[in-house]
Structure 1
Amino acid sequence: MLSTGALRAHLLAARLAGPVATSREESLRSYRLFAARDPRVLLGLDPEWTWGQRDLIELMADKCGVSADPSNTSGHDVIDPERTLGALDAFAERLAEAARHRHPVLLGTGHPHRLIDFYAALADALSAAGCTVLTPAQGSSIDITTRFGLRTYNVDYVQGVALVREPEAGAAGRTTGAHTHSPLPVRTVLAAAAEGGGPLPELVIGDHGWVCGAGQLGFDAIGLADTDDPALFVGEAEGRVAVAVPLDDAVRSDYYRPLTRYVLDRACLSQ
């Protein structure tokens, strides 16, 4: 079993926590846009409370460990590894609960190049524990507004994990996929599950719009979030996201392997 101390050291060495690649400027820009309710950073969340930029800085300082000083406007953002570890423990508890009750689960990512292996390992472990890993809406088309205009994407699943890819990206099942913050994929997938009369997920696992979009619709949702993704932490504060784990969500994919081992060990799902 990977110890807490060993994982803390890894978080800092891999820059998953501590000083991270996300800049303070990026985070503050996201907080300004969130305060203005820009859908690009709401990620499908419709906040109940009024969140100004200063409120968001205070929240993110509490949830992630970033600087609480509004006059700190440059440099690298910082994530407290103790907050990451605590959130990973809560994340593992939710996985264990799903496994105990053999809940149907849905996994999806807007970071397929970085996080697909992390989620695929969770999908495999939950399936082995008797959970149904849901894959509705395979091949469905979705029009998503991007900075390049309206683009069409297709829903696909790789090792049980939902993602979207451009239609010309190649054969389904390959690990390539598009980076997206949109909640439209999870809404499409959940609508297809409901319309098909199949089971709905008791737990949604992912990031970006997959978590906030599901949480906004009343589904139990847990996920990973960087310091420039305040929506997941606002969702957690307002009670619509069950667990938001603060970490850099865009480091090398192999750097997440110790996190996989840690949460599966603590959820008693190691194979």
Structure 2
Amino acid sequence: MLSAEALRAHLVATGLAGTVATPREKSLRSYLRFAQRDPRVLIGLDPVGSWTPEELLRLMADRCGVSPDPGRTSGREVIDPDRTLAALDALAERLARAARARAPVLLGTGHPRQLLEFYAGLAVGLSAAGCPVLTPAYGRCIDISTRFGLRTHTLDYVHGVAVVRPAGRDHSGGAPAAHCHSPLPVRAVLAAAAGGDGPLPSLVIGDHGWVCGAGQLGIEAVGLADVNDPALFVGEREGRVSVVVPVDDAARSGYYRPLTRYVLNRACLSQ
């Protein structure tokens, strides 16, 4: 069993926590855009509070451990590894409750290159415990705004984890899925489930729009978030997201394997 101390050392050594790769400038820019209600940063959340950039910085300092000094405008961000560990424990507790209830779960990621394996491991553990891992709206086409304009994507599931792929391409041989912040995929999935394509999930596990989009619609949601994604932490503070784990979300896929093992062990879901 991986100890908390060993995982803490791993988080710092790999840059998942401690000093991370996320630039301070990028975080501050995201806080400003969130305060301006930019949909690309809200990612499906409709905040109740006003949330000025200064308030967001204080929130992120409290939840993630970033510097609260507004005068610090450059350099690399910091995530407190102890906050990451505490959130992983809370995530494990929520998964254990779902497993005991054999609750239907939905997993989805907008970071398929980095985080797919992490969520797929959770899907295996939950499925083995009797939780239905849902796959509604498979193959559904969704138009998503990108930096290149409106692009059609297709909803796919890989090892039980929802991803989107650019439509009209050959995906044989495991072609990579798309990086995506949009809440539109989870809205399409939940609409399909409500329309008869399987039950609604009791819990959504993921990141970006998967968490914020589900939480905004009243579905319990948990997941991972980097310090430049304030929407998930605002959703947590306002009560629409249950658990957010602060972590660098763009590191090597293999770096997240110990996190999967730790969470499954804590949730008593290890195989």
Residue in structure 2 matched with residue 193 of structure 1 by the alignment: 193
Residue in structure 2 matched with residue 155 of structure 1 by the alignment: 155
Alpha-carbon distance between aligned partners in 2 of 1:237 and 1:56, rounded to the nearest angstrom: 11
Residue in structure 2 matched with residue 219 of structure 1 by the alignment: 219
Secondary structure in 1 matching 2:153? strand
Name the stretch that deviates more: 173-182 or 8-17. Answer: 173-182
Structure 1 length-normalised TM: 0.98
Alpha-carbon distance between aligned partners in 1 of 2:205 and 2:170, rounded to the nearest angstrom: 26
Inter-CA distance 141–172: structure 2 relative to 1 (3 Å threshold): farther
Q: How does 1:10-159 map to 2 (within 5 A)?
A: 10-159=10-159
Alpha-carbon distance between aligned partners in 2 of 1:268 and 1:111, rounded to the nearest angstrom: 26
Q: Which runs of 4+ in 1 moved over 2 A?
A: 168-175
Alpha-carbon distance between aligned partners in 1 of 2:209 and 2:12, rounded to the nearest angstrom: 27
Unaligned runs of 5+ in 1: none
Inter-CA distance 172–120: structure 2 relative to 1 (3 Å threshold): farther
1:216-265: per-residue Cα shift (whole Å, max 9, x none)? 00000001000000000000000000000000000000000000000000
Name the stretch that deviates more: 155-164 or 167-176. Answer: 167-176
Alpha-carbon distance between aligned partners in 2 of 1:192 and 1:143, rounded to the nearest angstrom: 16
CA contact (8 A) 2:137 2:197 kept: no
Letter in 1 for 2:18: G
> What RMSD in Å do the two structures reach over aligned CA positions?
1.0
Secondary structure in 2 matching 1:168? coil
Inter-CA distance 196–172: structure 2 relative to 1 (3 Å threshold): farther
Inter-CA distance 30–219: structure 2 relative to 1 (3 Å threshold): same
Identity across the alignment (%): 71
Residue in structure 1 matched with residue 240 of structure 2 by the alignment: 240
Structure 2 length-normalised TM: 0.98
Secondary structure in 2 matching 1:198? coil
Aligned length: 271
How many Å apart are 1:213 and its aligned residue?
Answer: 0.2
